[in-house]
Structures are given as C-alpha cells and as structure tokens.
C-alpha cells in the first residue's frame, strides 16, 4: 500500500489517492500485442481492429455508417455517436465535443471494412439493422476480452477506451506529433 500511518486521517487520504491513481491508469498494447490481438479478432470481433486502427470512440464506432467510409479515398468520417438513453433505448448524438473529422484509413482498417457484409446502413448493425446499444456492445467486447485472456494470459484485457488509447499511443511511438494525434482522435483543443 502507498500510505503513511502517522494518523488514521493520513492513512485514509492516501489510500483514496492510491485508489484514484490506480483507477486512472490506462493500459495500452505494445506493437507486438496489437498484431496478435488484431489477428485474434479477425472474423470474430472486427470492431476491435477498427478501434485500434482508427482511434474512434465506442459510440462513434457503433454509429459508423457505410456512407462515412470512402474506400476509394481511403478515409472514414466521424459524423455521429450513439449513446444509451436513461430508461432504455438509444439516441444519436454529434461526436463528443462536436469533433466531426475525416481521417485516413490504414491498410488493416481497409481490409476489415472490405471484408464486412453490407446488410444495413450501419457498419456494425444490431440484429434489427439499426445501431447497437453501446452497453450491449461493451458486454460483447468484454466476452471477447475474457476469451482472449483465457486463451492468451499474457495479453491484458482492455476496454474500448483503452483500445482507443492504444491507437494514439502507437501513433506517438511512430513519431506522430501530439497536435496531429489530438485532431485525429477528436480531442478538444
């Protein structure tokens, strides 16, 4: 533990700081882990590959429509985000911070998109053809991550947000400047 027990008050304060610090630690994959996870996700959870390759947020991924993808120009546009409504159902919102953007697609992202069936206007539709519920999709991601961890204990389980951070971290490791990463990821100035 990271606390000094001079008094009970100190102990409690430092335990809370430690818990807050530990909670805010974001895990990301190494380049080798990215390669492994993307290969593992092929055919079963292509959304994982797209988050790692494009850095989109969970709601932006779920709200992605085929009209947002330009395979010829090799770009994807972020035009909306899907959120769960209190009391049930979903709603379509602008991207967070109104961060509309068009980004280049990597070869891996292009391969995934070209392999997907076009059964709906949404790239990753629900069974009814509309957008998925973000919470339902997160449960699907959790099941995928648990299976990945069972099959490969050395690979950490990441959340959608940590997969997104993996994208930005990899860009930085490869020499992309912070300002460009900020714009690519749709971060507020």
pLDDT in tens, 132-164: 999 999 999 999 999 999 999 999 999 999 999
Which of the four pLDDT bands, split at 50, 70 and 90, describes residue 26? confident
- Distance between CA atoms of 120 and 81, rounded to whole angstroms? 17
Mean pLDDT of the chain: 92
Residue 54 in contact with residue 186, Cβ under 8 Å?
no
| Tokens encoding 55 | 């850095």
Nearest-angstrom CA–CA distance, 72 and 75: 8
- Cα(3)–Cα(188) distance, integer angstroms: 35
Stretch 169-186: mean pLDDT, rounded? 97
Residues in the chain: 189
Q: What is the pTM of this model?
A: 0.87
Count of other CB atoms within 10 angstroms of residue 171: 17
CA 14-16-20 angle, to 5 degrees, is 115
- Provide the pLDDT confidence category of residue 42 given band limits of 50, 70 and 90: very high
Nearest to 67 by CA among 118, 129, 108, 137: 118
**DSSP secondary structure letter of residue 97:** G
DSSP 43: T
């Amino acid at each position: 533990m990271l606390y000094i027990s001079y008094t009970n008050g100190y102990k409690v304060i430092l335990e809370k700081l430690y818990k807050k610090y530990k909670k805010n630690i974001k895990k990301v994959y190494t380049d080798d882990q990215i390669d492994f996870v993307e290969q593992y996700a092929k055919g079963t959870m292509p959304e994982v590959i797209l988050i790692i390759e494009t850095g989109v947020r969970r709601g932006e991924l779920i709200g992605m429509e085929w009209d947002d993808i330009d395979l010829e120009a090799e770009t994807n546009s972020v035009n909306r985000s899907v959120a769960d409504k209190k009391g049930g159902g979903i709603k379509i919102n602008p991207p967070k911070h109104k961060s509309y953007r068009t980004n280049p697609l990597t070869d891996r992202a292009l391969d995934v998109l070209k392999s997907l069936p076009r059964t709906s206007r949404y790239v990753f539709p629900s069974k009814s053809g509309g957008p998925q519920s973000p919470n339902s999709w997160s449960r699907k991601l959790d099941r995928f991550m648990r299976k990945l961890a069972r099959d490969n204990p050395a690979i950490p389980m990441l959340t959608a947000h940590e997969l997104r951070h993996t994208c930005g971290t990899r860009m930085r490791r490869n020499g992309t400047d912070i300002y460009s990463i900020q714009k690519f990821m749709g971060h507020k100035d």
